[in-house]
Structure 1
Amino acid sequence: MSEPNKTTTSPRAHRGQIIIHEASPTPGLPAKRRTFLGYLALMGPAFVVGAWQFGPGNLTTAVQAGSRFDYSLVWVIAVSTILMIFFTDMSVRLGIATPTSLITSIKDHLGKWVGVLAGFGVFGITLMFSVGNAVGSGLGLSLIFGGSPVLWTVVCTAAVGFVLAFRNVYGIVEKALLVIVVLMGLAFIASTVVAQPDWYRSMAGMVPSLPPGSEILIVALVGTNFSINAAFYTSYGIKEHRRTRADYRDITLVDTIPGIVAPGIMTALVIMVAAAVLGKTGAEAGTINALASVFTPLAGPVGAMVFALGLSGAAFSSMIANATAGGTMLSDALGRGAKAGSPTARILTGIILAFGLIITLSFQASPVGLIVIAQSLTVLIAPLLGILIVIMANKTSVMGDLRNRWWHNLLGAIGLITIIASSLRLITTLIG
C-alpha cells in the first residue's frame, strides 16, 4: 500500500528546485506536482482579504483598545482571526466548487432576490469601510510628507481610481497588496521593537474579559477583524485564478491561513504597542493629533514616522481592495458581470471611492470617532452574509466532496452567534 501525502524529490528537477509529489486531497484526481514558485503563485486571494480587513478602521480601533483598556482586549483579535480563517476557507471551497460566481450561485439556488440583497449588503459595507480608508490614507501621508490630510485623501482616492483604467484590475490589485502587506508587517514589527510591550501582560490579555465601557469598541474590533464581507469576496479571487479541487489543500496552507493570520498578528501588535506607549502617558487616541503621536513618547519623530508608514499602507491597501470588491460583487448581483474589470464594476468601484471622499470632506471634526462608528455599523449587515456562506457551503448539490464537515459547521455556528450577538449589542447601545 502506498503512503499518502508522501513528499519526494524528483530526479528530473533542476538543481535547487524541489518538486512535491503528494496525494490529491480529493479522491479521483491526479496527484499535484508543484515547485516552490508554484506554491508562491497560489498566494493572493486571502492576502487581498487580509489587506482589506486590515485598514485604518482596524488600526484605529486597535489603538483605542490598547490605550483605553491596556492588553485586555487582545483575546478579541485571537478569536476573530480563528473564525475568519474558517469563513474564508468556506469561501475558498465555494470558489472552487461553484460553476459560477458566489452571488450568481446564491441567486440560482436560494432565489434571485437573496443574491441581489447580498450584493447590496456587501456594497453597503464597503461604503462604510470607504470612510475609514479615506480618512486614514490622508492622515498617514500627511504625517510623512506634511500638508493637509484632506488634500492627501484626494490624492489617494485619485490614485486608486487610476488603477481602474487598467485592463487586468484584479491582477494588479493582488500583486500590489501582497507587497504592501509585507511592508506593513515589517513596519509594525519595528514599532513593537521600539515600544517594548509587556509580553507577559499581553499573554494574559488572551483570557476573555469585558472591561467596563468596552462593549462598543469590542463590536468595532469584531467588525474589522472578523470581516465576513471580506471572506465572502475570497471566492471571487479563486474564480479569477480558476483554482481547482486539486489546489485546495495547498491554497489552505500557503494562502488562506497565512493571509488571514498576518493581519491578525499585526492588529495584536498594534494593541500591544498602544498599551505600552499610550498606557504609560495616560492618553487616548480620540483625535487625529493623538493618533498621530502614538509612538512619539518613546521614539520621537522616528516612531511617528514608522506608525505613519504603517497607517498609510493599511489605508491605501484597504482602499484598493474594498472599492474593488464592493463594485465587483454588486455588479454580479445586478447581473452585469462578476469580474473587477467589467464596466459596471468599474463604475460602482468609483462610486465607493467618491462616497468615502465626500463623507471625509463633510465630517472633519472627529474622523477617528467616525471611523469607529462606521466600522461598527458593518456588523449589522454581516449576519446575512455569514448565513449565506454557511448555507451554500452545506449544499451537496453545489459543493460535492468539498461540502462543510461538522467542525466547519461548529465554527460557523460560533461565528454566526458572535456576529449576531455583536449586532444586537450595537443596536441596544445605539438605542440606549
Structure 2
Amino acid sequence: MLLTPQADKADTKAAAPTRLSTFRLLGPAFVAAVAYIDPGNYATNIQAGARYGYLLLWVVLWSSLIGVLIQLLSAKLGIATQASLATLIRDRLPRWASIGYWLQAEILAIATDLAEFVGAALGFHLLFGISLLEGAVITGIVSSMILAIERRGLKPLELVIAAMLGAVALIYLAELYLSHPDLGRLVGGTVMPGFAGQGSILLAAGILGATVMPHVIYLHSALMSPEARRASSARTLYRATMWDVGLAMTLATFVNLAMLAMAAATLGGSDHDIGSIEQAYRTLAPVLGHRAVAVFGLSLIIAGISSTVVGTLAGQEVMQDFTHLKIPIWVRRAITMLPSFAVIAAHADVTTVLVVSQVVLSFGIALAIVPLLLLTSNRPLMGDLVNHGWTSIVGWGCVILIVALNIIVLSSTFGVTL
C-alpha cells in the first residue's frame, strides 16, 4: 500500500496513554483537513460572500460539522479494520459493482485535482504576474517535491501538510481582522439558515462539495491503517484521533468562515460584479491594501499546492486498493496534471471550472458516505468501535440532506422536472 510508512523504530509495546503519545498520533486528520480549504473553497466562498453577503455562512458551518462526523467515521474504520474504505468496498461488492465504484471515485479524484492544481497555478499568476501555464509548471514541480517526502515515511509529510494548513489559518486570521466584518450579521448568517433564490442554492451545493471532499473520505481510513497496526490499543488510537480531527477541522472551519466573511465585508453589496477569484483579487487591493492582497494570493498558492499533494495521495490510494494496480506516484502525478494543463491551454474561465468541479464533487459525497456508514455500523467488523445508534441516525440524516440538495440543484440548474 502506498501509505504504509517505513518501519517505525520506536518501541510499540503497550503503554498507558499520555499527552506525549497522543501528540505523536496527531497528523492524519490535518492531511485530510487540507482538502477542506482547497482552491474550490476560495471560488465558492468568495462568490457566496460577494453575491449574498453573510447569508450562506451557515452552509459552511453545517458542511464542516458533517465533515467532522465523516472524517471520524473514516478514521475509525481504518483503526478497527486496519484496512481502507476502498479495500473493504472492493472485497464486499460484486466485481462489476466494485469496478463501478472505482470508476466514479477516479472521476471524483480527477475533478478534485483539477480544482486544486488550477487554483495553485492561478495563485502564482495573480501574485507574480506570470502566465497560468507557467504557474501550472511551478505547481507541478513544487507538489512533486513535497510528495517526495513521503519516501521518508508518512509522518514527515503529515508535519509539512499540517504546517501549511496552519499558515493558511494564520493568514485568514489577519485577513479577517483587516476586513472588519459586521459581527452581528456574521453571527446571524452562521446560525440562521436561509436562501435567496436558485443561485444561492447552487452555491450552497458548491460549498458542500468544496468542504466535504469524497476523496479524503477514502484517504483518511488508509492513513489510519498503518497507525492501527502499531498502536497499543484501538480505543487509545481512536481517542487520539478525536483530538486530531477536532483540532484539524476547527482550523479548516475557521478558514472557510473567515474567507466567506472577508468576501462579504469587502465585496458584498458593492458596485463590483465579482464573478471570479481574479476579479476579487483586483477589487480587494484598494480595500485591504496591496500587502494584504499579496498575502491572499500567497494563501491561495499554499492551499492549492498542499491540497493537490493530498489529492494525488488519495487518487493513488483509490487506484491501488480498488484495482490492485501499483504505479509509481510520479506517474499518478503526471496523469492527474494532464486535465489541468488542458483546461489552462483551452483558456477556460478558472473560477467557473472551480465552482462546477465542486458541484460535481457534491454528487459523489453520498456514494462514499453510504458504504462508510454501513461498514462502521457492522459490529462483527468494527467490534467495540461500532457506531452508536445516534451516530447512525445523524449519519443517515446527513446522507438524506446531501441527496436532497443534489436533487434541488439538478432541478434548478438543468431544468429537471421532479
Settle same-fold status: TM greater than 0.5. Answer: yes
Q: How does 1:97-112 map to 2 (within 5 A)?
A: 97-112=80-95
1:186 paired to 2:170: yes
Counterpart of 1:32 in structure 2 is 16
Which amino acid counterpart does residue 422 of structure 1 have in structure 2? L
Q: 1:229 aligns with which of 205, 215, 219?
A: 215
Structure 2: runs of 5+ lacking an equivalent? 1-12
CA distances 1:330-385 after superposition (whole Å, capped 9, x unpaired): 1210013xxxxx535553343112222322322x2411111101110112222211
Distance 1:308 1:417 in 2: 37
Which amino acid counterpart does residue 237 of structure 1 have in structure 2? L
CA distances 1:238-271 after superposition (whole Å, capped 9, x unpaired): 1133354133343244211121222111101011
Q: Is the 8 A contact 1:71 1:275 kept in 2?
A: yes
Q: 2:204 aligns with which of 212, 218, 223?
A: 218
1:198 paired to 2:187: no
Q: Is the 8 A contact 2:118 2:344 kept in 1?
A: yes
SS of 2:289's partner is helix
Q: Which moved more, 1:149-158 or 1:108-117?
A: 108-117
CA distances 1:182-214 after superposition (whole Å, capped 9, x unpaired): 100000000001001001101110200011231
Q: 1:89 aligns with which of 65, 72, 87?
A: 72
Which amino acid counterpart does residue 68 of structure 2 have in structure 1? I
CA distance change for structure 1 residues 163 and 177 in 2, over 3 Å: closer, same or farther? closer
Counterpart of 1:154 in structure 2 is 137
Counterpart of 1:329 in structure 2 is 318
1:53 paired to 2:36: yes
1:395 paired to 2:399: no
Counterpart of 2:260 in structure 1 is 271
Q: How does 1:134-149 map to 2 (within 5 A)?
A: 134-149=117-132
Distance 1:282 1:251 in 2: 49
Which amino acid counterpart does residue 410 of structure 1 have in structure 2? I
1:41 paired to 2:34: no
Q: Is the 8 A contact 2:57 2:186 kept in 1?
A: yes
CA distances 1:90-132 after superposition (whole Å, capped 9, x unpaired): 1111001114332222222333444443333222112112222
Q: Which moved more, 1:143-152 or 1:186-195?
A: 143-152
Counterpart of 2:284 in structure 1 is 295
Counterpart of 2:3 in structure 1 is none
4+ residue segments displaced more than 6 Å = none
Which amino acid counterpart does residue 100 of structure 2 have in structure 1? L
Distance 1:309 1:164 in 2: 20
Q: Is the 8 A contact 1:133 1:319 kept in 2?
A: yes
Structure 1: runs of 5+ lacking an equivalent? 1-28, 337-341
Counterpart of 2:248 in structure 1 is 259
Which amino acid counterpart does residue 222 of structure 1 have in structure 2? L
Q: Which moved more, 1:69-78 or 1:391-400?
A: 391-400
SS of 1:151's partner is helix
Of structures 1 and 2, the one scoring higher in RCO (CA 8 A, sep 6+) is 2
**C-alpha deviation, 1:421, in angstroms:** 1.6
**C-alpha deviation, 1:46, in angstroms:** 1.1
**C-alpha deviation, 1:164, in angstroms:** 4.5
State the Cα RMSD in Å.
2.1
CA distances 1:155-178 after superposition (whole Å, capped 9, x unpaired): 111222344455247444322211
Q: Is the 8 A contact 2:142 2:305 kept in 1?
A: no
SS of 2:143's partner is helix
SS of 2:17's partner is strand
Counterpart of 2:9 in structure 1 is none
Identity of aligned residues (%): 24
CA distance change for structure 1 residues 347 and 114 in 2, over 3 Å: closer, same or farther? farther
**C-alpha deviation, 1:293, in angstroms:** 2.5
CA distance change for structure 1 residues 101 and 289 in 2, over 3 Å: closer, same or farther? closer
Which amino acid counterpart does residue 303 of structure 2 have in structure 1? A
1:422 paired to 2:405: yes
CA distance change for structure 1 residues 252 and 170 in 2, over 3 Å: closer, same or farther? closer
Counterpart of 1:359 in structure 2 is 343
CA distance change for structure 1 residues 67 and 402 in 2, over 3 Å: closer, same or farther? same
**C-alpha deviation, 1:150, in angstroms:** 2.5
CA distance change for structure 1 residues 365 and 113 in 2, over 3 Å: closer, same or farther? closer
Which amino acid counterpart does residue 319 of structure 2 have in structure 1? L
Q: Is the 8 A contact 1:66 1:273 kept in 2?
A: yes
**C-alpha deviation, 1:233, in angstroms:** 1.5
Counterpart of 1:11 in structure 2 is none
Q: Say which structure is richer in helix.
A: 2
SS of 2:317's partner is helix
Q: Which moved more, 1:193-202 or 1:350-359?
A: 350-359
Q: Is the 8 A contact 2:83 2:221 kept in 1?
A: no
Distance 2:316 2:234 in 1: 28
TM superposition score normalised by structure 2: 0.89
CA distance change for structure 1 residues 116 and 169 in 2, over 3 Å: closer, same or farther? farther
Q: Is the 8 A contact 2:132 2:344 kept in 1?
A: no
Distance 1:140 1:121 in 2: 29
Distance 1:429 1:107 in 2: 35
Counterpart of 1:19 in structure 2 is none
SS of 2:396's partner is helix
Question: How many pairs were matched up?
Answer: 397
CA distance change for structure 1 residues 288 and 185 in 2, over 3 Å: closer, same or farther? closer
